Structure 1
Amino acid sequence: MTEPVLSVRGVVKRYGDHTVLDGISLDVREHEVVTVIGSSGSGKSTLLRCVNLLEELDDGQVLLDGVDVSDPRVDADVARRGMGIVFQAFNLFPHMTVLDNVTLAPRVVHRVPREEAERNALDLLDRVGLADRAGGYPEQLSGGQQQRVAIARALAYSPRLLLLDEITSALDPELVGEVLALVRELAEAGRTILMATHEMGFARQVADRVVFLDGGRLVESGPPEQVLGEPVHPRTRQFLRRIIDAGRL
């Protein structure tokens, strides 16, 4: 079996006396979509931030294509070039055009010539349905459009792994669908994705594997039909009952 694109091994993250991640281990293989679910405060976002090396680990390892990128001797900025991350907030630069937002990292970090970076960015914006807004500014876009630009920006340097952190949680309900439709297209195109989400229906339809976190621990992991349909662990069942009662599954 080939090496996983991502391998998280025994990751621990503490803030003071509070343990947010308690020995998390999981693999994400090439072309696989893994969704991470759990209550608020379960550690979903912290896990993605640790994978992207935005948080220093207290213990454990993060391997990308077999390389321990969490090793302090590894340049984190270089390691992050293999990963693209999209956050809950869009984090677009308001003073820059849509096109400049998407081309910034390729031009500044990867030293891609402007003409090539813009050509690639326009292709990405076309794929997310926003080529006609390339010259506009973030404030002129809806929330859903801004999030699609953020996804295009994350894809601009062809990362091996795409990290999506609750990317629909800040959107109005009517805008959620357009963003999830784009993620579905990326999944169908073979992108390798680790996604924290509260969209259970989407996880059921698109994920290859669902991971349930509770209190910073990985409680259950498996195909969506098993974890969401016939969960084994009592805590998973309790969580899903609350989701069903809220009409979200």
Structure 2
Amino acid sequence: MLEVRDLVKHYGDATVLAGVDLAVAEHQVVTLIGASGSGKSTLLRCVDLLEEVDDGQILLDGVDVSDPRADTAAAQRRMAIVFQGYNLFPHMTAAQNVALAPRVVHGVPAGGAEERARELLERVGLGAFAGAYPDRLSGGQQQRVAIARALAVRPRLLLLDEITAALDPELVGEVLAIVKELAEGGMTILMSTHEMGFARQVSDRVCFLDGGRVLESGPPEQVLGDPVQERTKRFLARVVAADRPI
């Protein structure tokens, strides 16, 4: 479904992506891991066409959507991205937030968009909060609304950028449970995370980014359990050490 070929992205003199290659097949979950600044978020933003690329290609269903002549809006309608921040409109209820994009971007009638919003909120365990405003929801609940909002546009590809990074530890599990359910249901997902145990559970493939490149890629059991690259080993050792109680 998605193929990234030799992707390059600069910010001024800084090279953030230095020739990234990866592929995501339909119904696969591919997870990006790596230290902060390794290029994970930039890669996801480039795939969603929120950033212009300096070189390389992004192919969605075989079409180079990074080509300046491509219909960016049409490509973006086939994807959805969820960020660390929830980015909910504070003056809208949970249901209104979820229904907005189908109604405004995809032309779904208001009644149909509202009905699907309520169905999706039920799916993420928030049916009783459809009429609640974001300031009445916990961080975990707001992030689940953000996931429902992404699903409302029926994306071919779901992009998740460190969606638990801003949550209190006790709220992380409720959000990851939703992602696991989506993965088990066949949703195609490209995500970045620091939750290594979760990556091992849900991923078909794990890609370790370092210095803007995919340094190591393979099944989670290999990359997370028996990595080949010394840099991958050092990163995972630091992550495990950071997770140990003091």
Q: TM-score range by the shorter chain?
A: over 0.9
In structure 1, give the amino acid aligned to 2:172.
V
TM-score, with normalisation over the residues of structure 2?
A: 0.98
Shift of 1:75: 2.4
Match of 1:211 in 2: 207
Shift of 1:120: 1.0
1:97-108 equivalences in 2 (<5 Å) = 97-108=93-104
Q: 1:70 aligns with which of 66, 71, 77?
A: 66
CA distance in 2, matches of 1:232, 1:39: 17
In structure 2, give the amino acid aligned to 1:89.
G
Q: 1:174 aligns with which of 157, 170, 177?
A: 170
Matched, 1:244 2:236: no
Shift of 1:78: 1.6
Match of 1:165 in 2: 161
Match of 1:36 in 2: 32
CA distance in 2, matches of 1:181, 1:245: 24
Match of 1:147 in 2: 143
CA distance in 1, matches of 2:150, 2:60: 17
1:108-127 equivalences in 2 (<5 Å) = 108-127=104-123
Matched, 1:60 2:24: no
Q: The residue matched to 1:124 in structure 2 has which SS?
A: helix
Shift of 1:123: 0.8
Q: 1:201 aligns with which of 181, 197, 202?
A: 197
RMSD over equivalenced CA pairs, Å: 0.8
Shift of 1:77: 1.7
Match of 1:90 in 2: 86
Q: The residue matched to 1:194 in structure 2 has which SS?
A: strand
Q: The residue matched to 2:243 in structure 1 has which SS?
A: coil
Question: For structure 2, which runs of at least 5 residues remain unmatched after alignment?
Answer: none
CA distance in 2, matches of 1:98, 1:244: 36
Which segments of structure 1 move beyond 6 Å, counting only runs of 4 or more? none
Q: The residue matched to 1:23 in structure 2 has which SS?
A: strand
Question: For structure 1, which runs of at least 5 residues remain unmatched after alignment?
Answer: none
Shift of 1:153: 0.3
Moved more, 234-243 or 171-180: 234-243
- Percent same amino acid at aligned positions? 73
CA distance in 1, matches of 2:86, 2:73: 21
Shift of 1:218: 0.6
CA distance in 1, matches of 2:14, 2:65: 25
Q: The residue matched to 1:246 in structure 2 has which SS?
A: helix
CA distance in 2, matches of 1:244, 1:83: 33
Q: 2:228 aligns with which of 224, 229, 232?
A: 232
Shift of 1:247: 2.3
CA distance in 2, matches of 1:226, 1:46: 25
CA distance in 2, matches of 1:75, 1:191: 24
CA distance in 1, matches of 2:243, 2:104: 45
CA distance in 2, matches of 1:31, 1:45: 21
Q: The residue matched to 1:228 in structure 2 has which SS?
A: helix
CA distance in 1, matches of 2:55, 2:144: 34
Q: The residue matched to 2:5 in structure 1 has which SS?
A: strand
Equivalenced residues, count: 244
